[in-house]
C-alpha cells in the first residue's frame, strides 16, 4: 500500500505577520510605529499588543529598533503598580525618543520618495522635503 502524498496547505490571504508594508515593515510593525509616532507620551505594553493584533509586543518593538529607530530610538520603562489581585507588578511602557522620532521621520521621507518614483515617473525629478540630489 502506498503512502499518500502530503497535502499542501494554501491560504486565501497572506500572513499579515510576515507581509511587507512600506519599507520592510510588517503590518503589525507599521501599526505600532504609527501609534508611537502619534503619541507624545507613553504607550503601555498591553496597548501595543492590542494595536499590533498580537501578544508579542516586546518582539515587535525589538524589530522596530532593528529596522527603523536603533536601540536608543524606543525607550522602555517598567513602572511599579499593584494588579487586580493586590500583588506588586511592573508593567512596561514604550515611547519614541527624540532620536527615534528623527529616524522615523527620515524613514517616512525615504518611503515617500520611493513611492513617488514607483508611482509617477514624471515626479522622479522633483525633490520634496528639501532633499538635494548629489
Contact between residue 124 and residue 116 where contact means Cβ atoms under 8 Å apart: yes
Q: CA 60 to CA 94: how far, in whole Å?
A: 12
pTM of the model: 0.67
Domain locations in the chain as residue ranges: 27-120
Per-residue tens of pLDDT for the chain, all 134 residues: 666 666 554 444 444 444 334 458 899 999 999 999 999 899 999 999 999 999 999 999 999 999 999 999 999 999 999 999 999 999 999 999 999 999 998 888 877 676 666 666 655 455 554 454 44
Q: Which CATH number fits the domain 27-120, given the four candidates 3.30.300, 1.10.10, 2.40.50, 1.10.150?
A: 1.10.10
Amino acid at each position: 500500500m502506498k503512502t499518500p502524498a502530503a497535502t499542501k496547505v494554501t491560504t486565501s490571504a497572506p500572513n499579515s505577520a510576515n507581509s511587507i508594508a512600506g519599507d520592510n515593515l510588517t503590518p503589525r510593525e507599521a501599526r505600532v510605529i504609527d501609534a508611537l509616532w502619534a503619541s507624545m507620551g507613553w504607550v503601555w505594553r498591553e496597548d501595543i499588543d492590542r494595536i499590533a493584533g498580537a501578544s508579542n509586543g516586546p518582539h515587535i518593538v525589538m524589530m522596530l529598533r532593528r529596522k527603523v529607530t536603533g536601540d536608543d530610538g524606543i525607550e522602555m520603562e517598567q513602572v511599579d503598580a499593584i494588579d487586580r489581585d493586590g500583588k506588586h507588578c511592573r508593567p512596561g511602557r514604550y515611547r519614541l525618543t527624540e532620536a527615534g522620532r528623527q529616524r522615523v521621520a527620515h524613514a517616512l521621507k525615504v518611503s515617500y520618495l520611493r513611492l513617488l518614483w514607483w508611482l509617477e515617473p514624471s515626479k522622479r525629478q522633483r525633490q520634496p522635503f528639501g532633499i538635494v540630489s548629489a
